Amino acid sequence: MPAHGWTGDDPPLTIQDVYDYVDRELKMVKTKLATKIEKFFYGGIDPIQFLIHLEEIFKSKQRVKRIKSMIPRIAGMQELDLFIRTCMEVRRPGGVRDAGFTKDIQTFATAFTRSVKSLGELLDEVRDLYSVVQTFCRNYQSLEGEFDLKWARTTNIELKSTLDAIDQLLADAHPGVNIKLFSTDKFSLEVAETLDSKRFPVLRLFPDLFQKFYFVFHLLGRWRANDQIYLEDIQFRLIKTKRLQRLKQEEYNTIELEHGNILSTIVEKRLRVRTREIRERMKQLDQEIHKLTSLHRGISQEKVHSEQEVLERKRVLFANKNVTDLSKDLDNILGVRKDVEILHKKLKSLNKSLKLNEHDLIAREKEKAELERDYEDMRQSISRSNQLAFERSELSKEISIINEKIHELETIFYRKTDRQKLEQAFDDLRGSNEPR
């Protein structure tokens, strides 16, 4: 590749080659318009002063009734030529001043003809440059519509409209221009406000054409600059989206690891079965604890009753010691003693039963407490497992969407920067420029 970069004769290697080419060509056509065409047309004179001077010539010559009646309006080269020839035929005394006016108007006619030709050639160059920009600086919207591409459509419409207007003005330069094609702002408007451009449209023609060309240069430069910004925006979004993809993937991997650890420690299916078993055992323990508590209450009541009966028997026994006829109540005393001994044995048995009951009750309550802890741990494990499974599913969806977005952005980016795509665009450009 030559040192000066892409020349447009071969496919560009990078999109930056296209940008550099557009910059160079724009600078070249601007220089050509300003230094060769515009400067030649005005003759190095201030444009407004130049046009006022011409208007003064036209008005001066039209003071002759014959000239004014024959050529009341000068809208193109055809009428300008007729105006000059008529002025030459209908001479009026004007001395040196009149001769100078005649020379100036003939000079204007020469500049008019030459400028039309030069601007026509320049228009061809600008249209070629427009084709390059239109071909390589295409914009593609994302599925989410996140790029503001209104400027591209607006710029393209304005460019086409302005180029068509330039083409039409140049085509009408000979027969006579349509003043509706003139711009309504900036320098063209200033000329319209300063001069009688309705009467002499030729005076406004080239200022308006020059303005339109500069506007086209501005639009092409803005399109090229915005396209680079658009490409940089795609690159930035790619970097940002890939960073998000990496973070989401790391988050997914962390959750996957935790979920895997839970599932590897306690298989979910067995965990649920074990949980149901624990729940059933806890219900059974509640029933056993209830029975033991009721039994404990019954034994305690029976113990209290037995203790009261022992006391009553002992009271009877001690009361019988005062009996004078021991032989008469001996049997009764022996019977009471025997009853007391039986009751003491019964109390001893009840105390033992109470201890066993209390031991069983404590064991059941301890087992229940352990099962409750296990059940809560398992319930939390299942809950956490379900939560992690849900989070994994949601993250997987997010990552899938992010991957699609990355693919979409990469497609747009490579569509504009891939060398094969640039070659294809070049072939399309070359094909559209071939004569039909």
pTM of the model: 0.70
**Structure letter (DSSP) for residue 183:** -
Q: In tens digits, what is the pLDDT along the chain, a chain of 436 residues?
A: 344 688 888 999 999 999 999 999 999 999 999 999 999 999 889 999 999 999 998 888 888 877 888 888 999 999 999 988 888 877 654 444 466 677 888 999 999 999 999 999 999 999 999 999 999 988 766 555 566 678 888 899 999 999 999 999 999 999 999 999 999 888 999 999 999 989 999 999 999 999 999 999 999 999 999 999 888 988 998 999 899 999 999 999 998 888 888 777 666 556 655 676 777 777 887 887 778 788 778 878 877 777 787 777 677 666 665 555 555 555 565 566 676 677 677 777 778 877 877 887 788 788 778 878 877 877 787 788 888 888 889 989 999 988 988 888 888 888 888 888 888 888 888 876 665 4
Q: What are phi and psi of 45, to 5 degrees?
A: -100, 155
Q: How far apart are CA 278 and CA 284, in angstroms?
A: 10
346: closest CA among 386, 305, 391, 318?
A: 305
CA distances from 248 to 79, 144, 234, 257, 398 (A): 75, 20, 21, 14, 8
Give the pair of three-digit tokens for residue 166: 């330039």
Q: What whole-number distance in Å separates Cα of residue 168 and Cα of residue 162?
A: 10
Closest CA to 391 of 262, 209, 299: 262
CA distances from 240 to 145, 227, 229, 244, 246 (A): 17, 20, 16, 6, 10
In one-letter notation, the amino acid at residue 117 is K
DSSP 215: H
Nearest CA-CA partner of 58 in 188, 200, 176 = 200
Contact 360, 292 (CB under 8 A): yes
Helix residue ranges, H only, 195-266:
201-265
DSSP three-state, residue 147: coil
108-113's contacts with Cβ under 8 Å and 24+ in sequence apart are 108/54, 108/80, 109/77, 109/80, 109/81, 109/84, 111/40, 111/41, 111/43, 112/77, 112/80, 112/173, 112/202, 112/206, 113/77
Distance CA 30, CA 411 (A): 35
